[in-house]
Every structure is written in structure tokens, then in C-alpha cells.
Amino acid sequence: MQFLKVISVFLLTLFSTPSISFAADSLSLSGGQQWLVFASKQDATEAVQLAEGFQEALQGTPYQDKVRVVRSENGWFGVVVGPVNFKNLQLARQQISIDLPEDAYLSHGRRYLETVWPARNLRFGEFEAQNHFSLKLEKLRVDAGLITEQTDPNDEFSKNSKVQVVGWTGQNKVFSFETEPSYFPQYGQSVEVIRLAKETEFPQVVIKQFTGGAHCCVEQQIITQNREGSWVMVQGAVLDGGYGYSFEDLDGDGTLELVSADNSFFYLFAPYAGSFAPLYIEKLYYDEITDVNMDPVYQAAFRKELAYLEELAGSEKSLWGENGFLAGWAALRARLGDGMAAVAQATERSRSDQEDFRKYACPDGAPSSKCDYENAVALPFPVGLTVHLIGRGYLLVQPLR
């Protein structure tokens, strides 16, 4: 999927940003304990991608939660597992359930400075292989359960499931919530305990449920405290794909943003595969999810994504004439204050309107949702793009006086 390829670069390149708060636990080991080093990479993004692959391969083993990426004194990033107690590499190869790289080795980590992945302010559990689990972060413990009911044993689609989450501080139950029962596949349902709002006494709980389907969707709920300290469950975005929000500290303030792609760009000016959805950033403040895309502190992230798109179009020059690409490209430039010039250049580059993939409006100019579909008018690409960018807040229009 194109948008995953686009956004993954930005979700991973943050690991090379020095301002992010990484775990500062001691990495120098002694005695029989060592790190099993799978690989060393100069690029943090590549190291994190490798680590995620090794972690997935080690699922169900005692080592699945021991994979990490560490930064060394020489600036390289090591993909390591541990601490482990293997006396030599031969024993490690015998006991690890996956084939180790030929250049794997054991290290006491004397030159390791910090853990850069995974983040220390996140605990994750999924229901694919279990129906109940517990997670703990800071002073909050969460018991999560998947409750499934099937009305017809011969009909898989009569099976409804819901997620129940109970929160504890010590022996005190502080909340209990559950999602609405609905049909979900047997995979793609998870619970995360994570610090998203620095104002609240306790961290947040995020429930993700994959609806199934080729391009759809992840329903998300966030359990958090409001200004009065009461616990509430708020509706998060329903997002394309199977991943939902990613959580990254893009502004370096110690709490995580809710990072996704602007799903409104899918199927708008091109089919799904030809749509390029720009980075979309939100932040949680108590129980309010706030759009922070126009905050100047995030311009570095948008510049990086724009650079990636332009590099991609440099190798696939046909993209410069495709409306799905041009729309995402113009939206990123609008985030950087260059929107109208970008729309003009997108207009010049566009080869033609693509039938069935155009922005629509009512005859009186109102959004198409305000009139019958049969009466809606298809807008030419330059007009449709401008209307969409204004409606989504990419272009700010001063009211007439």
C-alpha cells in the first residue's frame, strides 16, 4: 500500500532524532550476561526495521520481548537480544529458534550508550494467541480480555467480539470499559498502555480492533482521564489499513503524538494504489484529541515526507502527472506555507481529470454531503484540490470584510 510506504519513513526516521527521550538503563553487562548482536547498521531506520522483523520471528519464544536497538559510541545502531547467558555463539545458534545471521556475535555492551527502540513509555499486548493478558506502566495495571460470542456455530460471521479493559492502581479498581460487540477477524485486536497526555496522573490505554477487508480499517478507543480526573473512553480515528495510530514523540516533549495518514485523500483523485495520503499529526490533551498539523514544531516531519515524495517521483517520473500523487505533494507543501504555489504547479503538471475520481460539490457550492449524489457536480482537479485543502485545513482562507 502506497501510504504505508510513505508514512513508514517518517515514523521510523524519528529514531535518529537526538531530542527524543530514550530508555537510559545500563547496557554494560558483566559476568555471564551478554548481548546477542544480530546486526549493526549506520542508519537507525534500517536498524529498527530489522529489529521489528526479528521480534516477529521470535514470537512465542522467551526472547520475543528481549529485542532492542541500541546506539553505540561510534554512532552505529545495534540490533540485539538480551541480556542472555550463552557461553558462546555456538550455543546461541542451538538455542535460538531462528537462523542467526552469519556475522552475529556476543557482546558485553561496554560501548552501548542507550536503547533507542522500543520506547520505554509503551506496553503492548494482542489477542491473536491469547484471550487475556495484563500490562503495567507507571502506577497503572491493566487487565485486558477478549470476549467472544457466536450465535450460530455454522456461521463464522455470527461471531461477535468485544474488548474489556479493567484498570488498577494497587488493589483499587479505577475503571472498567468495554467496546461495542461487533464482528472482527481473529487477528488485529490489541491493547496498548502508553503515555500520550502529560497532564494526566496516569497513562492512557488504547484499544485497536481491525475490521478486516482489503483496505479497511482499524477502530480505536482511548481510555484516559478528563480534567476532573475521571476516567472516560473517547473515540479515536477509524483508519485505513491494519495498524491504526503510530505513537511518536515528534516534538521531543517527552509525550507521544498520534501519527497517521490523512485518509481523506484515498480514492479522492485516484484509485487506492495511486493515492498518496500525507502525514497527519494529532495530540491528546486530557480527553481531547487535537489537530496539531499547523504547529511550526512539526514542520521538520513534513519536510522529510516531502523530500521522500520528491525523491520517489525522481525515480518514477510519471508520478508528476498523476493527480493522486500531486494532491498529496501539494498538501505537504501547504503544511509548509507554500500551498497556493503548489496548487498552481500541480495544475500545470496534471495530465487530466481521472473519471470517477474527482471532488464533488453541490450546485450551490456546499459540500457534496449536503445534497443528493445525483445532483452533485464534479469539480475540475485544480478546483477540487483547492476546495479539499481548504476544507481539511491545509489552506487557511481569510474571511471577507
- For the segment 74-127, what is each residue's pLDDT rounded down to a tens digit? 888 899 988 888 888 888 888 887 888 888 898 888 888 878 777 667 788 888
| Mean of all residue pLDDT scores within the chain | 85
**Percent of the chain residues past pLDDT 90, beyond the cut:** 47
Long-range contacts of 369-375 (CB under 8 A, 24+ apart): none
Query: What pTM was computed for the model?
Result: 0.71
Count, residues in the chain: 401
Residues with Cβ within 8 Å of 114's Cβ and at least 6 positions away in sequence, in order, are 22, 23, 24, 27, 70, 71
Mean pLDDT of 241-250: 80
Q: Which amino acid is at 195?
A: R
Determine the 3-state secondary structure of 309 from DSSP.
helix
Q: How many CB atoms lie within 10 A of CB 98?
A: 12
Grid cell for residue 170: 494497587
Rounded CA-CA distance 267/249 in Å is 30
Write down the pLDDT at residue 14. 34
Q: Residue 236 gets which letter from DSSP?
A: -
- Residue 13 in contact with residue 65, Cβ under 8 Å? no
pLDDT recorded at residue 399:
61
Yes or no: say if 37 and 28 are a contact pair by the CB < 8 Å rule. Answer: no
Do 323 and 270 contact (CB within 8 A), yes or no? yes
Strands 279-285 and 189-194: unpaired
**Grid cell digits, residue 210:** 481491525
Query: H or E segment at 308?
Result: helix 299-315
Q: Cis ω on the peptide bond leading into residue 118 (within 30° of 0)?
A: yes
Lowest-confidence segment of 307-316, 332-341, 358-367, 386-395 by average pLDDT: 358-367
